[in-house]
């Protein structure tokens, strides 16, 4: 009896769960990817009864997939202005014009921001 399709389906489900966990909690660990990785592994071990070694492998695969997706967004310097930053997704062709004031307000001077620092210009 061949259980290969069932095993593959289970592994795909675990990798999807790991990906969802990483995506859901990445903002909590912007400066500490290792902590996010450990939490995702623990999530698979605790909630899905995966072995720690198997969970680590699947979280690594999910993290690689997530990195590939996030690496496709680019700053469009040509179409950006002094008041708007244009972000382009190379895979979908979508572009977003984001007001610089919004970036400043929501990211740079946000009360919980401890990850960016002022540099001399």
Q: Could you tell me the mean pLDDT of each successive run of 10 residues in the chain, 121 residues long? A: 80 94 86 89 96 96 87 90 93 92 85 68 61
Rounded Cα gap, residues 101 and 57, in angstroms: 41
Backbone phi and psi for residue 84, each to the nearest 5 degrees, phi listed first: -135, 135
pLDDT of residue 76: 93
pLDDT of residue 3: 74
Q: Is 41 left (phi over 0), alpha (psi -120 to 50) or beta?
A: alpha
Q: What's the N-to-C CA distance of the chain in angstroms?
A: 67
Q: Hey, what are 12's tokens?
A: 């795909």
Return the closest-CA partner of residue 63 out of 88, 41, 47, 48: 41
List, edge to edge, every strand of the sheet that includes 84-89: 73-75, 84-89, 95-99
Longest dimension (CA), the chain: 67
Q: Hey, what are 83's tokens?
A: 């008041």
The vertex-34 CA angle with 24 and 64, nearest 5°, equals 65
pTM of the model: 0.60
pLDDT of residue 2: 64
pLDDT of residue 121: 61
pLDDT of residue 70: 74
Rounded Cα gap, residues 13 and 118, in angstroms: 43
């Amino acid at each position: 009896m061949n259980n290969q399709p069932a095993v593959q389906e289970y592994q795909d489900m675990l990798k999807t769960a790991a990906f969802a966990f990483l995506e859901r909690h990445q903002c909590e660990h912007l400066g500490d990817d290792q902590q996010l990785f450990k939490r995702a592994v623990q999530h698979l071990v605790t909630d899905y009864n995966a072995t720690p070694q198997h969970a680590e492998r699947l979280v690594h695969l999910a993290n690689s997939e997530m990195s590939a997706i996030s690496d496709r967004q680019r700053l469009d310097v040509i179409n950006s202005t002094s008041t708007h930053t244009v972000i382009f997704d190379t895979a979908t062709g979508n572009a977003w014009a984001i007001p610089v004031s919004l970036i400043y307000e929501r990211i740079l001077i946000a009360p919980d921001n401890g990850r960016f620092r002022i540099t001399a210009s």
